[in-house]
Amino acid sequence: MADELRSDQQANDAPSQRQSASVSRSVPMSVVASRIVWYITGVIVVLLALRLVLLLLGAQQGNGFVDFVYSLSGVFAAPFFGIFNDTAIYGSSHFEPSSLVAVAAYLLVGWGLAKLFTISSSHPAA
- pLDDT score, position 23: 62
Nearest to 104 by CA among 80, 78, 71, 75: 80
Helix, strand or coil for residue 4? helix
Gap between the Cα atoms of 74 and 51, Å rounded: 8
Gap between the Cα atoms of 81 and 87, Å rounded: 9
Helix, strand or coil for residue 67? helix
Residue 106 pLDDT greater than 70, yes or no:
yes
Where is average pLDDT lowest: 23-27, 68-72, 99-103?
23-27
Sign of the C-alpha dihedral computed for residues 36, 41, 44 and 50 taken in this order:
negative
Which residues neighbour 37 within 8 Å (Cβ) at sequence distance 6 or greater? 110, 113, 114, 117
Q: Which pLDDT band, with edges at 50, 70 and 90, does 118 fall under? A: confident
* CA 69 from centre of chain: 19
pTM exceeding 0.75? no
Q: Which pLDDT band, with edges at 50, 70 and 90, does 53 fall under? A: very high
Average pLDDT over residues 82-107: 83
Length of the chain: 126
Residue 21 pLDDT greater than 70, yes or no:
no
Average pLDDT over residues 44-68: 92
Express each pLDDT in 57-92 by its tens digit. 988 888 899 999 999 999 999 999 888 876 666 667
Answer yes or no: are the C-beta atoms of 106 and 41 closer than 8 Å.
yes
Average pLDDT over residues 30-46: 94
